[in-house]
Amino acid sequence: MISDPHKRENILPGIGDPERTLRVLIVDRDSMSSDLLARALSRDRNFQASGIRSADLLDYLEDGKADVVVIGADITLDSKNGFELAQAVRSVRPSMPIVILLSRPSQDSVINAFRSGASGVFSRERPVAEFVSCVKHVRNGCIWAGTQETSILLDAFRSIPSPDLAMAGDSLPLTIRELQVVKSAARGKTNKAIAKELGLSEHTVKNYLFRAFEKLGVSNRVELLFYLTQRGQTFRQGAAEYPETNLQAD
């Protein structure tokens, strides 16, 4: 994960055309908040933003006229919250970039946001200028988390149960050997440990990881964990260890 010391956010490199006008739908806890955020985004010539009701969001998505969706975690819609609305968006538009707004980031809320399908998590405590940057980067294919949220995620990945891919083989576009390597990498094992376990060279393990990363559309181990977390993989007991200097395939 790449840190920008000037803006104090953490983003992962993405793709896209940053100059194209982006159409953003915003569903926040009330109409005033949605409209204020939409106006803040619309001051940037690259955005066309609209605040809408949560009940109307899925209808708006049917016409395909949205590039990014922003959802407040604390909205209520038929007893559902923002996380559940994000899941509903993802079910009808799997590739739609989603930003979830959090009032007070916590381990549960940050993890739930990414598991609900968000590509970006933004704290209301941060400046509006950073919110604009967050939406731009998420639309361009980045994963966005502020300094506090990134710390929460890294702590969680080091301490909470790691992904169990035992039931995920059929849903991942990987060969058997690639899946074996990804399983071990997702549990925090180094290339050396994976090589010893599978009877391979470290160079071969690295090549399998690069191939798996390419197929899954990720570029490092942190993104791999985001990928698995966003797809709701089950978790098992056990600790994962991720040295901050060992996030790439090697």
Per-residue model confidence (pLDDT) at position 173: 81
Residue 54 · residue 75 · CB < 8 Å = yes
Full-model pTM? 0.62
Average pLDDT for residues 91-106, to the nearest whole number?
Answer: 91
Average pLDDT for residues 223-248, to the nearest whole number?
Answer: 47
For the segment(s) 161-239, the CATH number from 1.10.10.10, 3.30.2080.10, 3.30.420.40, 1.10.1040.10 is: 1.10.10.10
Per-residue model confidence (pLDDT) at position 250: 52
Query: Environment class of residue 164 by beta-carbon count within 10 Å: exposed (0-12), middle (13-18) or buried (19+)?
Result: middle
138 vs 67: CA distance, rounded Å: 10
Helix (H) / strand (E) containing 226: helix 221-230
141 vs 144: CA distance, rounded Å: 9
Do 2-156 and 161-239 have matching folds? no
* Residue located via tokens 């509006």: 128
Q: What pLDDT digit, counting tens, does each position of 25-82 carry?
A: 999 989 999 999 999 999 998 899 999 998 899 989 987 779 999 999 998 777 679 9
Give the residue extent of every domain in the chain: 2-156, 161-239
* Confidence band of 1 (pLDDT split at 50, 70, 90): very low
Residues composing the chain:
250
CATH code linked to domain 2-156: 3.40.50.2300
Cβ neighbors of 78 (< 8 A, separation 6 or more) are none
Q: What pLDDT digit, counting tens, does each position of 225-237 carry?
A: 767 665 554 333 2
Residue 136 · residue 46 · CB < 8 Å = yes
